[in-house]
Amino acid sequence: MYKTKNFNIKAAKGADVTPAMLAKINGYSMKTLTAEDVYVRKYVLANNGIDRDRERFPEKLLDDFARTLPGRSFLEVHDKSRLPLGLFFDASTEELSPEKFLQLTGEEIKLPGYITDAKVLWGWLYLVKSDFNEKLIVNLEAGIYRYISIGFSASDLKPVKGEFDQILYYEYIGPGEAREGSIVYLGAQPGATLQKSFEDDGSVDLEKMSIVPKDEKGNTLIPGKMSIVPKDEKGNTLIPGKMSIVPKGDIVDISPDDDNERL
């Protein structure tokens, strides 16, 4: 299972390049780079809170991400068909009080009742200072490029239930890994924002997931029977079952049992 999640870059910090950072960067470079050659930033890429989609990363999975993020590419809008913009060279996790998290991101974190502290994933990346990265760096510094997104994999996504067997939220199951990080145009939420894309590699039972993926035409794929709910060229919804078109005003029955009729 491959997915992405976005975060606001206001939870990012610029940094002077230290000798320790430079040593890690040069561990990936094919030539020796100096502090003047690189632009370095630090980003919050993920946390352990319950998001607006009622999903969360457990703390051990965040540790998996920290372990696997170094050496991964920094992309533009998760476009793996294009060459990377930069490279992540270090990562770590940090525990924060909810108050500190609010101060850092500008957003309150929603934690399960048994967890008292936020846990965040920090990722360090470097860009080469060059003509082709000049626009990117200028827009990062100006706050125009505001959202960072992590591409990751996890072993499963399972519901966490309450006293009366109701689903409270869903939790990703490790082991997992960070696949890449991207600059994106907009997050689905302010602060610690979330946006999802789905790519099934056969490791997850879609019937157990809260994801509702779409095909290349934007039609919704319903988990379980994976029914397609398409729309016509005017945007009218085709309802599964009798497959009735429900436009405004009239209803057109296109049931396979009958000829099309205007009702």
pLDDT at 105: 84
Closest CA to 129 of 41, 38, 22: 38
Handedness of CA 60, 66, 68, 72 (dihedral sign): positive
pLDDT in tens, the chain (263 residues): 666 666 555 444 457 899 999 999 999 999 999 999 999 998 888 899 998 888 999 999 999 999 999 999 999 888 888 999 999 999 999 999 999 999 988 889 999 999 999 999 999 999 999 999 999 888 888 888 878 888 999 999 999 999 999 999 999 999 999 999 988 876 433 343 333 333 444 444 333 333 344 455 555 444 444 434 455 666 665 544 444 444 444 434 434 444 444 34
List of residues 6+ apart from 129 with CB closer than 8 A: 36, 37, 38, 39, 137
Whole-angstrom distance, CA of residue 173 vs CA of residue 58: 8
Torsion of CA 145, 57, 27, 81, to 10 degrees: -50
Whole-angstrom distance, CA of residue 263 vs CA of residue 256: 16
pLDDT at 52: 80
Interstrand relation of 38-47 and 12-14 (parallel, antiparallel or unpaired): antiparallel
AA identity, residue 90: D
The tokens for 135 are: 């626009």
pLDDT at 34: 96
pLDDT at 231: 56
Handedness of CA 126, 131, 132, 133 (dihedral sign): positive
pLDDT at 149: 83
Whole-angstrom distance, CA of residue 176 vs CA of residue 204: 13
Is 107:100 a contact under the CB 8 Å cutoff?
Answer: no
Is 75:180 a contact under the CB 8 Å cutoff?
Answer: yes
Is 190:5 a contact under the CB 8 Å cutoff?
Answer: no
CA 228 vs. chain centroid, Å, equals: 24
Whole-angstrom distance, CA of residue 247 vs CA of residue 245: 6
CA 263 vs. chain centroid, Å, equals: 44
Is 238:229 a contact under the CB 8 Å cutoff?
Answer: yes
Q: Residue 190: helix, strand or coil by DSSP?
A: coil
**pTM listed for this prediction:** 0.69
What are the domain boundaries of the chain? 2-197
Whole-angstrom distance, CA of residue 187 vs CA of residue 193: 5
Interior/surface letters 36-67, b for 16+ CB within 10 angstroms, e for the rest? ebbbbbbbbbbbbbbbebebbbbeebbbbbbe
In whole angstroms, how large is the CA radius of gyration of the chain?
22
Question: At 116, phi and psi to the nearest 5?
Answer: -105, -25
Question: For residue 35, what are the β-bridge partners?
Answer: none
